[in-house]
Structure 1
């Protein structure tokens, strides 16, 4: 078990030095008085030498301490606060629930509410739900809780996903890491969740899945096997760079030697982005979204989203999709060509994205979702990011078990193995029709 010494601060050292100086003065006066009377001064002189020696040592220590105090403190990311989706505002009057897609006068107020809510994300917006409906053809609702003055005090976007292959269920929201309830208080949150359950019963859907980054206390079964990583950002990129371990910095520098450039942009980069992304998804055994998916999402999010492409020898070898709102920038998708993983281009790409986040005044970088214990979690942790558990609530009919729509389900392993051997052109052709029904 280790131990450490605690040193007094400069103020304590100065006080101690002052006491020793007073003691030295007393001894000098005592020696002078003894000499006048002819008394023996040897003992007093020895004490004086001891005190003088202590003063010199203390002066050296104080000088060192003052030098340390003058040095700027190294920046450290610390642990980010995760805001609760349910606020503690007082309940006042009656609360009613409306579907903003049916009562369109509440759409603008709903989006303003999401932007102002501490736990609001870009995926809670009405535009994201509209994008899912337009791109994937799913039935949607956008529930708003209203107070007695018709002010929005809570929202819950809902998407019904129905297919022969994967079943019939409701998600808030699919494809992305966040959704679920945002509300001013528990009463509004409960009414929103109850309305989602009512829609489940009306449609005969198997369950409602609500995605949160906070355990808000719903009495529903939960999945907690997923997590994300958040990295608080400093004001200067140099502080972040200096916080990295030497190994991380060395990997970034190698990526700088290997890559031609890292480019940020919009739809003009989509073909290059998709070339890398589709190939990587095939290699992972995962159906790929269509190019139209990303094109539509970029248009919906506007300035809130960008594509990133890394080039080596003139060809794209790495890519990312980044999206931000408020103080948080997120990277929902990132890929590299597997044969280039050894070059450090992935490390370079993330470093350039972190620089971009700092330049654009984001306070948090969100590394995105992964499974607990996966290799990707080690990759994200090395940057200094903190683990953020995800809590996905499932409103199930009585007696039903949690769904198992994940790659670890044995019935999907053969399909994954087959997909990995499929030509990339075929995976692009077949994948979008499958993945649109996967949450």
Structure 2
């Protein structure tokens, strides 16, 4: 009788088989792809542990993990940092449990505080997991043409999009990573969040090639909004986006997301607009709801190893509130230099 065994992926052939499994699994997401191993290792220096579950040398499950060490944010094993989805995928619940147990054993060997799995569905057959998430994701179907897309948007937000279409706004794919990163940097600084390094954007484009698109929105000749999006299977994911203060007045962001929907449908035949993760009851979540998108809960689970309590990494934590307040006041050039040192633990 065959027995399923868990091993670490180390060879190029392992990762070729890994990506084929992700591509063909119904719950395989862009964030399960092995390319994240190259991106996160090179840019952030976190140690990867990519677990493969095999049956007679045939893959029947995978689990990407990264070890993070920080005095401020703790020592964790996580699937997967910088990714809104993750966790194990397998042929059945027994395979999921076997991978989760292997991750817990690895966590004990590494002496981490806890192991975190990021799922889109609840887990029921692992009593060691503790739910620790207050986030939802936002997905909407993309209709067949521009007019149908516009009509699918909730009435008030549709009026904003119509207003944006009257302005001198243009949407164009760009290779200018510096421009996109600069606009994104300003946006996250204004939210009190350290920015990711520009080379992170560059590495994403290098590794995932045409699955990553940079879109620039200009008001006349002036860039006002920009977004870095992922394309995978039938979805487009606007993952890192933002706008300048001017974007508020010309509705650059509203134009950007509508244009992205239209482009994704027409040029790539995408059927789903994945607006990504937002904290429940947050401003970004409220904005996504104005498009007519209902939130779907995410299920992030922790298995405690060395820690005795669940972590509280929320921006509402008083431990971080003062820092966020001060960060918003810093000049952009300062946050662009300091941000990458802190953001490596904010995935």
| TM-score for the superposition, normalised by structure 1 | 0.75
Q: How far apart are the structure 2 equivalents of 1:126 and 1:164?
A: 28
Q: How far apart are the structure 2 equivalents of 1:120 and 1:362?
A: 17
Shift of 1:241: 1.9
Aligned residue number for residue 200 of structure 1: 107
Q: How far apart are the structure 1 equivalents of 2:110 and 2:147?
A: 54
Shift of 1:414: 1.0
Superposition pairs of residues 30-429 of structure 1, within 5 angstroms: 93-101=2-10, 103-147=11-55, 149-217=56-124, 218-219=126-127, 220-265=129-174, 268-359=175-266, 360-397=268-305, 400-429=308-337
Q: How far apart are the structure 1 equivalents of 2:169 and 2:34?
A: 39
SS of the residue corresponding to residue 367 of structure 1 reads strand
Number of residue pairs the alignment of both structures matches? 344
Identify which range, 382-391 or 276-285, moves more after superposition. 382-391
Aligned residue number for residue 82 of structure 1: none
SS of the residue corresponding to residue 369 of structure 1 reads strand
Q: How far apart are the structure 1 equivalents of 2:101 and 2:53?
A: 12
Q: How far apart are the structure 1 equivalents of 2:4 and 2:12?
A: 18
Shift of 1:104: 4.2
Q: 1:323·1:329 contact (CA, 8 Å) conserved in 2?
A: yes
Q: Deviations over 1:26-66 (max 9, x none)?
A: xxxxxxxxxxxxxxxxxxxxxxxxxxxxxxxxxxxxxxxxx
Superposition pairs of residues 17-28 of structure 1, within 5 angstroms: none
Q: Which has the higher strand share?
A: 2
Q: 1:252·1:345 contact (CA, 8 Å) conserved in 2?
A: no
Q: 2:143·2:152 contact (CA, 8 Å) conserved in 1?
A: no
Shift of 1:339: 4.3
SS of the residue corresponding to residue 53 of structure 2 reads strand
Q: 2:120·2:297 contact (CA, 8 Å) conserved in 1?
A: yes
Shift of 1:325: 0.9
SS of the residue corresponding to residue 414 of structure 1 reads helix
Q: How far apart are the structure 2 equivalents of 1:184 and 1:393?
A: 20
Q: 2:112·2:306 contact (CA, 8 Å) conserved in 1?
A: no
Q: How far apart are the structure 1 equivalents of 2:338 and 2:210?
A: 31
Distance 1:245 1:165, change over 3 A: closer
Q: 2:115·2:302 contact (CA, 8 Å) conserved in 1?
A: yes
Q: Which has the higher helix share?
A: 1
SS of the residue corresponding to residue 303 of structure 1 reads helix
Q: Which has the larger radius of gyration?
A: 1
Q: How far apart are the structure 2 equivalents of 1:228 and 1:394?
A: 19
Q: How far apart are the structure 2 equivalents of 1:399 and 1:318?
A: 41
Q: Deviations over 1:284-328 (max 9, x none)?
A: 110000110100011111111101111124221111111021112
| TM-score for the superposition, normalised by structure 2 | 0.95
Q: How far apart are the structure 1 equivalents of 2:168 and 2:327?
A: 30
SS of the residue corresponding to residue 166 of structure 2 reads helix
Distance 1:394 1:246, change over 3 A: closer
Identify which range, 231-240 or 284-293, moves more after superposition. 231-240
Q: How far apart are the structure 2 equivalents of 1:412 and 1:245?
A: 35
Distance 1:346 1:203, change over 3 A: same
SS of the residue corresponding to residue 276 of structure 2 reads coil
Shift of 1:398: 7.3
